[in-house]
A and B are shown apart, each in its own frame.
Chain A
Amino acid sequence: MRMTAMSVEPTTPSAPPRPHLPGYLSAPMQRTAGGMGRFSYMSGNLVSGFFHTSAGRYQYLLKHSIQQIYFTTLQSWQLVFFIGLALGILMVVPMVSLGFTDIDMLSSLISKVLFQQLIPFLTAIVAIGRSGTAITSEIASMQSQQAIDMLLLQGIDPHHLLVQPRVIGMILSMLLLTTWMIAGAILGASSIVLMVDDAGWLQVMRACASMLTLKEWGLTALMMLWFGMAIGTIHCYYGFQSANAVQTAMNLPKAFVRSFLSCLLVITLFSLVRYG
């Protein structure tokens, strides 16, 4: 009994090409160049994947993106909110104790330091530590079980099936988590302000919100988009580079450090654009 009708042409890659590197490069340079080549191939392949249409493929993309958002956002909302709350309190307590109780000034400070700098960066660290490492370990375990080879043999591009939804999920999760941490920070800061000032909650929140212009939101959203892309892509890449438990143990901290540094670089560049 033939069980399937093989009528649809699948969009299938063979294994990623190994770059041929010139012999005059030293071994570490060859490794770096090879790594950059593979990373660029994966990134390009991710983008090209959006143009391959198949209902089945998009179902997997949707399902796994939602799973990633659930894991990154919903399972860590308490932690993120608590961090935001604590940051808001920690930011305002020293100012209030020094006698700076003007709501507009405090709101401006909160907006500049917390919303535009610390909160996006701390959200990124939470996402790297929680979801990034999980992504690397999961893909590494698939690699060691030859599940990635099997996907290639079944005509399925592992970058499209495994990386795309994780990157999309990470981008959306970063946006949600940042907004959520900002809400926590506003609540924490407002609580302290209310103790020393008779201003209402609404007044404090309105003052904070007025500091967040559309441009500020746009820049923060753009930054989170970069964070999401960087964290998702870098952690997936190191997962693919881990063929066994030893390599996984070596690659997990590498992935952590690389995505941490890339987020630090992006936030520095954005700060220069904002205030430079």
Chain B
Amino acid sequence: MAEPLLQLKEIILPFPEPPPAINLLIHPGEIWLIDGAAKSGKTTLFKVLSGLIQPRSGTISLFNTNLRTCSARSLARLRQRMGILLEGDGLIPSWSIFDNLALPWRYHDLLPESALQETLTTLLQQFGEEEELLYRVAATLTIEQRRRMALLRAMQNNPQLILLDNDGVASYLDRLMPPLLPQIEAQALALVVRGTPAMARFFPKELLRRATVHAGALHIHALPSYPVIQPLNQ
């Protein structure tokens, strides 16, 4: 099996009452669906996974690099291999979508100005979005449109690991999965999604892993985790 993209070893989430330690391995080609009740620690877990907050204790390895010991620069480079959608859309409200999406490329001098237009247009077309949205100011879009644009931003660096910490993606998964599935099947990508058990229908059974967060502890479901539906009259 390929090296894990993300490894949590004896992680204790920063809860007031220390919960049991979490161990988790995320390999390329896997889709993780993480559910849990409100305030159970899902967002805290995603923030720990993305390195936004530190756990109480334990080790996180991202792309085989220990996040506790790596420098800020290394962490930034590692994060460029990840696509992240937070609970909020994370767009700067007074900027256009174009400026929002182009920000990391412009700021770090990663892409020339002449290539931005074509790259972003291609990205929007790939996920069936209208090009016109690029030039709208983020604050003028609907919540749904903003979420979709934020989701595109998570995809824009062609990441190897995507973390989607937003319940709202459920309504967008039917459009999101077709372009991503070939990459996941080719073991070039892993997807970690926060959601409800009902969202499992969007993902191929053989790739899906499920876990539930409860009071800061992570319970990984045994595979396969689907109820067997008995045909009627048998």
A residues adjacent to B (C-beta < 8 A): 1-15, 54-57, 59-60, 138, 141-142, 144-147, 149-150, 152-156, 161
Contacts and interface: CB of A to CB of B under 8 A. Distances in A.
Contacts of B94: 138
Interface string B147-172: 00000000011100000000000000
A275 to B, nearest CB: 44
A195 B72 CA distance: 68
B107 A9 contact: no
Contacts of A9: 73, 76-77
In the A-B complex, list the 3 residue pairs whose CB atoms are closest, starting with the nearest.
A150-B90, A146-B88, A12-B76
B19 interface: no
Contacts of A2: 158
A13 B158 contact: no
A6 to B, nearest CB: 5
A6 B73 contact: no
Contacts of A5: 110-111
B80 interface: yes
B87 interface: yes
B157 to A, nearest CB: 6
B84 A144 contact: no
A14 B222 CA distance: 35
Interface string B81-115: 00010111111111000000001111111110000
B139 to A, nearest CB: 8
B153 to A, nearest CB: 8
A235 to B, nearest CB: 16
A58 B15 CA distance: 40
Given A14-B51, A146-B88, A147-B91, 12 more contacts: A5-B111, A6-B77, A6-B80, A6-B157, A8-B109, A10-B76, A59-B106, A138-B94, A142-B93, A153-B86, A154-B104, A155-B80
B196 interface: no
22 contacts: A3-B119, A3-B156, A5-B110, A8-B108, A10-B76, A12-B72, A13-B72, A14-B75, A15-B53, A54-B108, A56-B106, A56-B107, A56-B108, A56-B109, A59-B106, A138-B93, A145-B93, A149-B86, A153-B52, A153-B86, A155-B77, A156-B107
Interface string B120-132: 0011000000000
Nearest to A59: B106
B89 A145 contact: yes
Contacts of A15: 52-53
Given A12-B72, A13-B72, A155-B104, A4 B79 contact: no
Contact of B103 (A4, A142, A154): A154
A153 B47 CA distance: 10
B50 interface: yes
A147 B94 CA distance: 11
B108 A144 contact: no
Contacts of B89: 145-146
A247 to B, nearest CB: 15
Most buried by B among A3, A8, A152: A3
Contacts of B157: 3-4, 6
Contact of A12 (B75, B84, B119): B75
Interface in B57-78: 72-73, 75-77
